[in-house]
Amino acid sequence: MRVRLLGTGSADGWPNPFCECRSCEEERTVGRLRMPTAALVDDILLIDSGPTAPYSASLGGISLRRVEHLVLTHGHPDHLAPSILLWREWVSGLTVLHVWGPSMAIDLCRDWVGPDSPVEFHVIAAGDCVTLATAHDSYELRALEANHDPRRIDSIAGEALLYDLQSPRGERLLYATDTGPFTPAMLESMRGRQYDVVLIDESFGDKTDHGTGHFDLDSLPVTLHAARECAATSDHTRVIAVHLSHHNPPTDELRARLHGMGAELMDDLAVIDTAASRSRHLITGGARSGKSSHAERLADRHPKVVYVATGGERPNDLEWAQRIAAHRERRPSHWTTIETADLETTLATAPADAVVLVDCIGLWLTAQLDSADAWGRETDSDMRAQVESAITALIEAVRDCPASVILVTNEVGMDLVPPHAGGRLFRDLLGITNSRLADACDRVTLVVAGRALDLPRSSP
């Protein structure tokens, strides 16, 4: 999921155009402007669109032509400038734009489209869960209750919503502005979601007597702690403060204070790419080196582990069965275990919030050689092409996997040259596979005699 922040500011933007406080002046000096908060997801979904969102996209060199869904939190003017629908109508050849939001926000839009305009409106309320179909995929959208000062949410705004958005690959975004502290009911609706990205209101900084449905630097850490307690967030969640106003301290100071509560500060037009936070780790070592135990300890730090055993069954092999049983005993019971050599499918369908541990690549390669009927045909170039294309497909699957990946492989070739042609073929192909996997991974560890050594990237 790629989330581009078309704005990170409050309604008035930061700096406030009329203000000369320290916070506004410092931002002016460095030429930073935060426009009203809006987020573009995968270039297909736009969440909120205040007066500047379309222009911000153009400033960032992005066309909004591919946007198929516009999702509105509420009707406050910094979140909804319905004129965007008119600007869109002046372009021909567009497909239908679906506009989702609470009833009063949708009502504000209706006068801005002509009778034949390719726009469909959908009213949603807190608790609703809808599928946002796109040309290629679909997203799941849950509307959650917001704590946005119902006393002030009048005929303009109507009900305000937060959104829980899940991508086709299972990545989850919580869009949580405008809102004040999460109530127990709100936290309950987020329990266990372990969002990948949370965009959260931080309007008021050190001004704590605002009496509005927004956060300040006193109330925000309390809610972040509560969200963590109910597993709405986890170690891997990126929490980004948005809807920022000049009541906050200047950027550098605010960044440090947010860091202390596990949150980040980003500029307008910054991109949060959940793929970039996934890790790829190759662990190699000889037989009985401790490589599997090392990999299992690393994986166990994650709350959700998918263990992929590539060995499969070997009927009539007692020693093999005992090895497998010992491995199985060692694994925590809450891990999901899949026994397959089809790594391409398994990696492509892995849940984004999991870590996938593959043990091991040597057995996977053996299965490829079996299926290519390679043994005894070591010099056959067709066979070799078939196995090499399987290796290429594996590398791509590792790169594209939505989850983090830990791969265990065997280090071969440090021993005597195998006496059989089949053994030499296996050794060579595994060496090639390991090198190519290492290139696709951001971390490579060699385990020798139970000791793990992180290998540096070779210099170009």
In whole angstroms, how close is the CB of 162 to Zn ion at the nearest point?
12
Q: Binders of Zn ion among 175-214, rule CB under 5 A?
A: 178
CB neighbours (10 Å) of residue 302? 20
Choice among 210, 246, 327, 420 that is catalytic: 327
Instruction: Give SS3 for 149.
Output: coil
Residues 427-456 that bind Zn ion (CB under 5 A): none
DSSP bridge partners of 5? 39
38-41 β-sheet, strand order: 119-123, 97-101, 69-71, 45-47, 38-41, 2-7, 271-273
The C-alpha atoms of residue 221 and residue 107 are separated, in whole angstroms, by 35
Considering CB under 5 A, how many residues would be counted as binding Zn ion?
Answer: 8
Nearer to Zn ion by Cβ, of 76 and 280: the residue is 76
Residues 22-51 that bind Zn ion (CB under 5 A): 24
Tell me the Cα Rg of the chain.
26
Residue 78 binds Zn ion, judged by CB under 5 A: yes
Q: For Zn ion, which stretch binds (CB under 5 A), given 69-77, 83-91, 181-189, 301-309? A: 69-77
In contact, 97 and 133? CB cutoff 8 Å: no
Q: Does 19 bind Zn ion (CB under 5 A)?
A: yes
As a whole number of angstroms, the distance between CA 377 and CA 399 comes to 31
**Closer Cβ to Zn ion, 181 or 262, answer by number:** 181
Among 69, 98, 193, 246, which residue interacts with Zn ion (rule: CB under 5 A)? 246
Nearest distance from C-beta of residue 37 to Zn ion, angstroms: 7
Please report the DSSP string for 205-223 in residue order. Answer: TT-----SSS--TTHHHHH
327 assigned to active site: yes
Of residues 309-348, those binding Zn ion (CB under 5 A): none
Please, which residue, 22 or 323, has the CB nearer to Zn ion? 22
Helix ranges, 343-380 (H): 343-348, 361-371
Q: Which is nearer to Zn ion, 82 or 402 (CB)?
A: 82
Question: At 262, which helix (H) or strand (E)?
Answer: none
Q: What are the E-state strand segments in 351-450?
A: 355-359, 404-410, 443-448
Nearer to Zn ion, 16 or 167 (CB): 16
- Supply the minimum distance, in Å, between the C-beta of residue 87 and Zn ion: 21
Q: Which of these ranges, 15-23, 271-279, 302-310, 350-358, lies near Zn ion under the rule CB under 5 A?
A: 15-23
Active site residues: 327
Residues that bind Zn ion (CB under 5 A): 16, 19, 21, 24, 76, 78, 178, 246
